[in-house]
Structure 1
Amino acid sequence: MTIPELAFFSQTGDPVILEIAARRGADFVVVDVQHGPYSRVNLRSQMQAIEAGGSRGFVRLSAVSGENVGAALDSGAHGLIAPLINSADDARDLVRFAKFPPVGVRSFGLSRQSDLTTLSIREVNDRLELFAMIETAQGLANVEEIAAVDGISGLYLGPTDLSIALGGTRYGDPSIVDAFDDAAARILTAARVGGKKAAFHGRTSTMIGPRLEQGFTTGVLASDLTLLATAIETNLEEMRTLEVGR
């Protein structure tokens, strides 16, 4: 039996939340730069908080560029999740910006990740994890070619954007359930054929569980904002039903 990777996704980027998630056993913790607050100084502290909790820090980029990739890696990220990967060329750009020569063009500079006294350039390249998000119709159409790109570690199904791309209004929209399931199966098959991981994120274990049972290798609980909102709403509703002073 293969034990899946279980990770946590943060949109607040709060270092306390990041460290708590790391200490609670997340295999890695993702800081969302695409839709969350971001600064290079904060990102460094966020990666430090995750490491203090005993886990690995990943970053979801806002977009693939040399500047964005370099900033995330220099801050100490152990892995990157790249949104809107629509083609094999997009995936190759991610690898090119993220890897040191001769594989890529990443520049070496003094940073949190600049200590090469114990790791060679090759080892740094090999240890870095790169996930390509499949979340558009174009990305889905090219998923087999994306999965075949050397240096890509895994495919990451973006459930909400892919649902919208398939004609739905949200993840779980009844009108696209079959189309979404077919897309998920195609992404999983492409990952397996390409020797890659297959990641899926969701708001609850109930949402993620069926994909792990299907064969996805990585489940990401997303996000801290969603969990907080749900907990507040649920507990307030429960308190409103109490027979207090009646």
Structure 2
Amino acid sequence: MNANNFAERLRAREQLIGYWVVLDAPVATERIARIGYDYVALDGQHGLLGYQGLLSGLMAVDAGATLSTRAAGTGAVGLVRVEANDATPIGRALDAGAAGVIVPLVDTAEDAARAVAAARYPGASGGIRSYGPMRSGLRFGPVPAEADAATVVLAMIETPQGLANVAEICATPGLDGIYVGPSDLCLAVGGRYPNDPEVADEFDNALEIIAKTAAEAGVAAGIHTPDGQTANLRLTQGYTFATVASDLTHLEAIATDHLKAARQ
């Protein structure tokens, strides 16, 4: 799958499934990218990756996707959750070859507009992105308008303010979609910790509101999930893309299962 095709499918609200990477392990990321996921998201906010890790991870995604495309006509694109809603990390992630950015802590439409502007070049899109395409020029351009068309911008809904302003955020011109951070959203609705059962109803209600609001605005609605079963559930509930777990949590889980089996 090329970046243009991914952007078109996401904007058309087609169902997409991705995987989350927090480890600076390019060989593992390459293997994940060839499995068949539509995207692989590298976590530049909470993940254990610096800029070199993001760059290596994006190159690994491209390598794995190329192998996958040759074998089955499919292949993942690389996304980056940037560390902050700031033009510098957004621009650097895109210059490194990301097909899009997931921007954290978006509380208002103004925050969303700032993220969009940072990811778009000056001109018809009204962006402020500085022209230094590096790897992205090999993949999405180097014509700025072509890069803009292939680049997706996703705003995270994870705070009380973001939830309250979700309709205005979804209506932001140029924003391609929203992305739910469930751990922070649980705290935002009053939870004492992620997955707090005492706020399960409030959490589920918030998820429903977010998915419905995105649908009414015609933008993509994504969410992070702990496993494939939950990802499937969220897609049936109206979310249009879902990310599965992470490499680190899966590594720990499978190692634990094998240890239990060996000791039995």
TM-score, normalised via structure 1 length: 0.92
1:157-188: CA deviations, max 9, x gaps? Answer: 11001111212134432211110111001111
Cα distance 1:164–1:27, how it changes in 2: closer, same or farther (>3 A)? Answer: same
Q: Residue 146 of structure 1: SS of its match in structure 2?
A: helix
1:36 maps onto 2:47 in alignment? yes
Provide the C-alpha distance between the structure 1 equivalents of 2:45 and 2:139, rounded to a whole number of angstroms: 29
1:29-75: CA deviations, max 9, x gaps? Answer: 01101012333333222111100111211000110111111110110
1:22 aligned residue: 33
8 Å CA contact 2:170, 2:214 repeated in 1: yes
What is the deviation of 1:152?
A: 1.0
1:72 aligned residue: 93
Provide the C-alpha distance between the structure 1 equivalents of 2:230 and 2:257, rounded to a whole number of angstroms: 18
Q: Residue 128 of structure 2: SS of its match in structure 1?
A: coil
39-48 or 88-97, which moves further after superposition? 39-48
Provide the C-alpha distance between the structure 2 equivalents of 1:129 and 1:167, rounded to a whole number of angstroms: 31
The structure richer in helix per residue is: 2
8 Å CA contact 1:8, 1:220 repeated in 2: yes
1:58 maps onto 2:83 in alignment? no
1:187-213: CA deviations, max 9, x gaps? Answer: 111111111111111111122221111
1:175 maps onto 2:198 in alignment? yes
1:94 maps onto 2:105 in alignment? no
**Bigger Rg, which one:** 1
The percent identity for this pair of structures is 38
Provide the C-alpha distance between the structure 1 equivalents of 2:221 and 2:262, rounded to a whole number of angstroms: 40
The residue identity in structure 2 corresponding to 1:51 is D
Provide the C-alpha distance between the structure 2 equivalents of 1:4 and 1:211, rounded to a whole number of angstroms: 11
TM-score, normalised via structure 2 length: 0.86
Q: Residue 111 of structure 1: SS of its match in structure 2?
A: coil
1:208 aligned residue: 231
8 Å CA contact 1:203, 1:227 repeated in 2: no
What is the deviation of 1:114?
A: 2.4
Gaps of 5+ in 2: 1-12, 66-75
Provide the C-alpha distance between the structure 1 equivalents of 2:204 and 2:85, rounded to a whole number of angstroms: 28
8 Å CA contact 2:97, 2:139 repeated in 1: no
Q: Residue 207 of structure 1: SS of its match in structure 2?
A: helix
8 Å CA contact 1:100, 1:108 repeated in 2: yes
Provide the C-alpha distance between the structure 2 equivalents of 1:50 and 1:233, rounded to a whole number of angstroms: 27
59-68 or 226-235, which moves further after superposition? 226-235
8 Å CA contact 1:85, 1:91 repeated in 2: yes
Provide the C-alpha distance between the structure 1 equivalents of 2:200 and 2:52, rounded to a whole number of angstroms: 41
Provide the C-alpha distance between the structure 1 equivalents of 2:141 and 2:115, rounded to a whole number of angstroms: 25
1:111 maps onto 2:150 in alignment? no
1:46 to 54, 57, 60: 57
1:164 aligned residue: 187
8 Å CA contact 2:140, 2:147 repeated in 1: no
What is the deviation of 1:106?
A: 0.5
1:139 maps onto 2:184 in alignment? no
111-120 or 166-175, which moves further after superposition? 111-120
Cα distance 1:179–1:117, how it changes in 2: closer, same or farther (>3 A)? Answer: closer
For the aligned residue pairs, the C-alpha RMSD in angstroms reads 1.7
What is the deviation of 1:117?
A: 9.3
Cα distance 1:169–1:207, how it changes in 2: closer, same or farther (>3 A)? Answer: farther
Provide the C-alpha distance between the structure 2 equivalents of 1:98 and 1:227, rounded to a whole number of angstroms: 31
2:148 aligned residue: 125
Q: Residue 133 of structure 1: SS of its match in structure 2?
A: strand
